[in-house]
């Protein structure tokens, strides 16, 4: 979410640990306006693409109402080409608590409609050679981008849990990624998306529903945890005590078990730490203690493992 490192060298050490340790993918939060350090998401993904060779990466999620859809479609295609198909783009309307709406004088009331138009434009630019579009917010005549994404069916992960987000996911999404939804909240959203997608004639794969939560090997009163929890409360308006999994590997796996029972299969886990060394230690323990436990409990089918 934020940029909790002392500088670029520490960040790249962390990325290298994730790349070598078998982490599936790295995800960057989208934030344009902030008093605390946070990387611009698309630029960060481009840099990660150049640094790594195996790991995938995405945004949870790009705020489409704040960005030009043609430029974003081009950025995604470029990163997917240069990374040889490792991009996992995620899109949403943007948090209503974000500072951008007021600071940039953007109309939050139009963000849903702008997002829907943007998704239509982006999807078509990735697959069509000439796009004409006449919407309320965007107009295109003969627009095209090249090169196209390397992935022939570039995934579109959608965020949000409102009724509009559910319909948006059913219409455009190949997957749904939760933000701050708890175990109790995520099940009804996934069920509603499944029903809406089937009704729309484009059901979503069962393993394309994701959850997210911060984790900490240790205690809630460890150094840096108070700040991390308060930042989370400020950004999301949610009680951090219900979202942070704090304890040992069993605590984290138990949280995953709850989400799996609710229908989730993909997970974005955010290490909560103090300094550079602490963040690296938290990530290494996730790799060494949680990933093997998850692999043992939910072994992949042979074809997927290969």
pLDDT for residue 228? 85
pLDDT digit string, tens, across residues 187-234? 999 999 999 999 999 989 999 999 999 999 999 989 888 888 888 888
Closest CA to 76 of 149, 135, 15: 149
Terminal-residue alpha carbon distance, the chain: 32
DSSP strand pairing (139-143 vs 131-134): antiparallel
Is 8-305 in CATH node 3.40.50.300? no
Q: Nearest 10 degrees: CA dihedral of 58, 143, 160, 42?
A: 30
pLDDT for residue 305? 55
SS (H, E, C) the chain: CCCCCCCHHHHHHHHHHHHHHCCCEEEECCCCCCCCCCCCHHHHHHHHHHHCCCCEEEECCEEHHHCCHHHHHHHHHHHHHHCCCCEECEEECCCCCCCHHHHCCCCHHHHHHHHHHHHHHHHHHHHCCCEEEECCCCEEEEECCCCCCCCCCCCCEECCCCHHHHHHHHHHCCEEECCCCCHHHHHHHHHHHHHHHHHCCCCCCCCCEEEEEEEEECCCCCCCHHHHHHHHHHHHCCCHHHCCEEECHHHHHHHHHHHHHCCCCEEEEEECCCCHHHHHHHHHHHHHHHHHHHHHHCCCCHHHHC
Long-range contacts of 254-259 (CB under 8 A, 24+ apart): 255/183, 255/213, 255/215, 256/294, 257/297, 258/183, 259/183, 259/186, 259/211, 259/213
Question: Would you list the domain boundaries of the chain?
Answer: 8-305
With a cut of 70, list the residues of the chain below it in pLDDT: 302-306
Are 177 and 208 in contact, with CB atoms under 8 Å apart? no
pLDDT for residue 259? 97
pLDDT for residue 230? 87
CB-count exposure of residue 42 (10 Å: 0-12, 13-18, 19+): buried
pLDDT for residue 303? 59
pLDDT digit string, tens, across residues 170-184? 999 999 999 889 999
Distances (CA, A) of 134 to 72, 118, 141: 18, 12, 8
């Amino acid at each position: 979410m934020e940029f909790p490192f002392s500088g670029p060298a520490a960040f790249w050490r962390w990325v290298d640990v994730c790349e070598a340790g078998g982490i599936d993918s790295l995800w960057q939060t989208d934030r344009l306006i902030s008093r605390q350090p946070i990387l611009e998401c698309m630029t960060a993904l481009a840099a990660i693409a150049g640094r790594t060779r195996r790991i995938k990466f995405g945004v949870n999620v790009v705020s489409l109402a704040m960005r030009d859809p043609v430029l974003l479609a081009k950025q995604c295609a470029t990163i997917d080409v240069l990374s040889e198909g490792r991009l996992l783009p995620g899109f949403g309307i943007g948090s209503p608590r974000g500072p951008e709406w007021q600071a940039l004088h953007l109309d939050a009331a139009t963000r849903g409609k702008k997002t829907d138009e943007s998704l239509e434009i982006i999807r078509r630019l990735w697959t069509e050679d000439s796009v004409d579009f006449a919407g309320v917010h965007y107009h295109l005549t003969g627009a095209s981008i090249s090169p196209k994404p390397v992935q022939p069916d570039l995934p579109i992960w959608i965020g949000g849990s409102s009724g509009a987000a559910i319909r948006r996911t059913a219409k455009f999404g190949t997957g749904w990624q939760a933000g701050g939804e708890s175990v109790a909240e995520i099940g009804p959203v996934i069920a509603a998306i499944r029903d809406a997608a089937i009704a729309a004639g484009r059901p979503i794969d069962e393993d394309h529903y994701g959850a997210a939560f911060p984790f900490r090997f240790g205690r809630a009163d460890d150094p840096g945890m108070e700040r991390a929890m308060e930042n989370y409360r400020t950004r999301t308006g949610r009680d951090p005590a219900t979202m942070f999994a704090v304890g040992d590997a069993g605590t984290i796996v138990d949280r995953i078990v709850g989400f799996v029972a609710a229908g989730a299969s993909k997970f974005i886990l955010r290490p909560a730490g103090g300094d550079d060394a602490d963040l690296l230690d938290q990530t290494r323990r996730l790799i060494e203690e949680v990933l093997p436990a998850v692999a043992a409990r939910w072994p992949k089918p042979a074809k997927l493992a290969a």
